[in-house]
Amino acid sequence: MSAPSKKKRDSGKKKEAESKHVVNEKAWKPTGAPPSAIVEVRHGGRMTQRLARGYSLGEVAQAGLNFGLARRWGLLVDDRRRSALENNVVSLEKWSPQTKRTTGERVESEARKIERAVEKEVRKAEKEVGKVEKKVEKKVEKVEKEVVEKVEAPIKKRSKKKAAAKSETP
């Protein structure tokens, strides 16, 4: 006897979703051939540039792409390279429609972040300076009072002695 066969589920929804995903991926795929990567090498005691085997993982990441997507798009990726040249990152950003920012915008946004952090530190320092100034003012007032008391005490004693001496003499 054969076991009753299981009814196959309709995977039409899944296939439809997969096909939409593929369409979206194709819509995002950059047009044209991917740009060639450049690497700097020492030749004859100085640095020269030549075509690289592919982009480094760092360059791909800085351009806002991931490794798998870059490979699917036909981008050559050399996982042995460790350098990340700015020219390669810029060329990837120009080629890829997925990267929304250019290098200049990235530098500006980082500069703004640094500027905000500096402004925050300056405000914090100004508050600390204000606190220290108040403490110094209180100590100065306290010292001034002590000085005045120390200076005026002998003067008051002398003036009391003089007043007592004048009152005793007829």
Query: What tokens were used for 115?
Result: 């500027």
Q: Say if 159 falls within a structural domain.
A: no
pLDDT tens for each residue of 75-109: 889 889 888 899 999 888 888 876 554 445 556 67
Q: Say if 91 falls within a structural domain.
A: yes
pTM of structure: 0.43
Q: Say if 134 falls within a structural domain.
A: no
pLDDT tens for each residue of 44-66: 889 998 999 999 999 998 888 88
Q: Say if 154 falls within a structural domain.
A: no
Phi and psi at 157, nearest 5°, equal -60, -45
Q: Say if 140 falls within a structural domain.
A: no
Give Cα separations from 120 to 31, 116, 128, 130, 133 (angstroms).
44, 6, 12, 15, 20
Q: Say if 2 falls within a structural domain.
A: no
Q: Say if 51 falls within a structural domain.
A: yes
Helix (H, G, I), strand (E, B), or coil: what is residue 13? helix
- Domain residues for 83? 14-100
* Number of domains the chain contains: 1
Residue 41 Cα to chain centre, angstroms: 31
